[in-house]
Amino acid sequence: MSTSNISRLTGAIACLLLCTCRNNGKAPAPEQIAALQLKEGKLIVCGPLQSKFGTLTFNATVSDANVAPFALGLKLLHSFEYDEAEKVFAGIIQSEPSCYMAYWGIAMSNFHPLWTPPLPEELKKGATAIAIAKKLPSPTPREAKYLEAIDAFYAGYEKDSHRTRCLRFEAAMRDLQAAYPDDREAKVFYALALDAAADPADKTYQKQLVAGELLNTLYASYPDHPGVVHYLIHSYDAPGLAQNALEAARRYAALAPSSAHALHMPSHIFTRLGMWNECIQSNQEAASSAQCYAEQAGIKGHWDEELHALDYMMYGYLQQGDNLNSRKQLNYLSAIREVHPANFKVAYAFAAIPARMALENKDWKKAATLQTPSANFDWTAYPWQRSIIHFARALGAAHTGNQANAALEIGIMQQLHDTLIAQKDSYKANQVAVQINIARSWWYAGQGAIDTAVSYMELAAAMEDNTEKHPVTPAEVLPAREQLGDLLLSIGRPKEALVAYDKSMKKNPNRFNSLYGAAQAASQGKEKARAAELYVQLLKMATANSDRPELSVARHYHEMYN
């Protein structure tokens, strides 16, 4: 045999071996893949003409043609663009049906940690994708570990709780990154797993701090990695920690401007730090991107990410006393009848935005008559969100002297709390319990039972201190310690009220009502210098077009003592 023939034969054998390694098992039957009902179609991008989702590399066993698409799928996963990520992994499966890691990508696309638990159909899709992959020979032990990790979440989903499965995913990712210490993505996904498994009642933020430390070791070398930057924000999205993620927050939108979630996510840190201009701008851009996405995707109505951005934007406007723009957002929301997908965060925005408008302005008459918005979902599926409306009504009734209606609303909230207990959703039940105690406090105050009122409000504040807000919310509808300050101020105890306001502002800096309440408490407590300082801070923070009457008081005080 000639040398050239030997060379050609050697090349053919090498090619055969390579193809066998890449596709070393019978491909799943077309009907198996079709049964997954994968999201397919053109990738939807809103933002720069050249799509930008950050930079990363990942060593996966895929054909050369699918190396870049696989990396894109990972980038989309890291920015929580789950529908688009699934499209990318579905495209890989279409061209390479035996691609083991593409099925892992489908399962990851239906997990969405840090959001709401997957729907039954998403759990079924993820579990089925894993089952298909398990029938394929794993290309490498490392990739087998990746599948085992996500399988730890989906296994037993019919009977095991979401939290139990998140903890299993965390443990599996810990083992994976320990087994492959040079695997950058393993570390990034382990950080995500830690954040997803964190206990909202853990005020030491143990898991988040471990995640943050891990991500900080990567950030210096990979500042454009979307997962590193995104999960730094989530890891430090807590009082006292947010400053640690300010650089990441300022960077994330610029490195992944084609993601609506990446445009929104920095506002978590801006909100924690009371940076309202930045918060508003971030969510204006996110809402615009979400509108673009809905149009391109052919979504009837609005995309859920838009309402999520509106909730944060509304919160920022209200803290600047900007009722003009707040009313615009409320009117815009009031005209919305259909959102897709209709889910947990959509229900939260529909309930919280109108409630915040009334409560932050202390428009008690409006709050007392607040109506449940009409939308394309069943409110009975969302007891916590429904409770926000009844919370607003209870406070409105109590502050306008209608104690009977206040008691009625508190009774409804108690029923919603009991529903959540029956559903074994202790976190949301606790959130409702805090609101019940605030409402009870104002009801007792209206009855003249001041000591009982203070006891209930102190209980609410202690309960809120011992838990953390849900990641989907910008903040509590009304902070319990701020409410304690309002109550103490109303009964002539300004020095104690100032202590309550200061504690509230430590957790929620630059809140309009906390600043104003603290200034009043300082003034009544004969701390004129402190009052002047707080009033100036309020005036600097408020927008020029604000019609809030509190600002007239602040200006008058400032003129008197300067």
CA dihedral 26, 86, 39, 300 (to 10 degrees): 180
- Where residue 278 falls (left for φ over 0; alpha for ψ -120 to 50; beta otherwise) is alpha
Amino acid at 56: L
Per-residue pLDDT tens over the stretch 361-397: 999 999 999 999 999 999 999 999 999 999 999 999 9
Specify the residue for token string 């992959």.
133
57-65 long-range contacts (CB < 8 A, ≥24 apart) are: 58/185, 60/101, 60/143, 61/21, 61/22, 61/99, 61/100, 61/101, 61/139, 61/140, 61/143, 62/22, 62/92, 62/96, 62/99, 62/101, 62/102, 63/22, 63/95, 63/96, 63/99, 65/95
- Position 269 scores a pLDDT of 98
**Domain residues of the chain, as ranges?**
504-560
Sequence-separated (6 or more) residues with CB below 8 Å from residue 471: 114, 115, 234, 237, 268
Provide the whole-model pTM: 0.91
Q: Is the peptide bond before 474 cis (omega within 30 degrees of 0)?
A: no
Copy the structure tokens of residue 468.
């953390």
d(CA 136, CA 97) in angstroms, rounded, equals: 10
- Position 558 scores a pLDDT of 81
- Position 201 scores a pLDDT of 85
Backbone phi and psi for residue 302, each to the nearest 5 degrees, phi listed first: -125, 155
- Position 149 scores a pLDDT of 98
- Position 49 scores a pLDDT of 59
Q: Print burial letters for 135-146: b (CB count within 10 Å at least 16), e (below 16).
A: ebebbeebbbbb
Q: Which residues of the chain have a pLDDT value below 70? A: 1-25, 49-50, 562
- Position 25 scores a pLDDT of 53
Specify the residue for token string 């206990």.
199
Chain length of the chain: 562
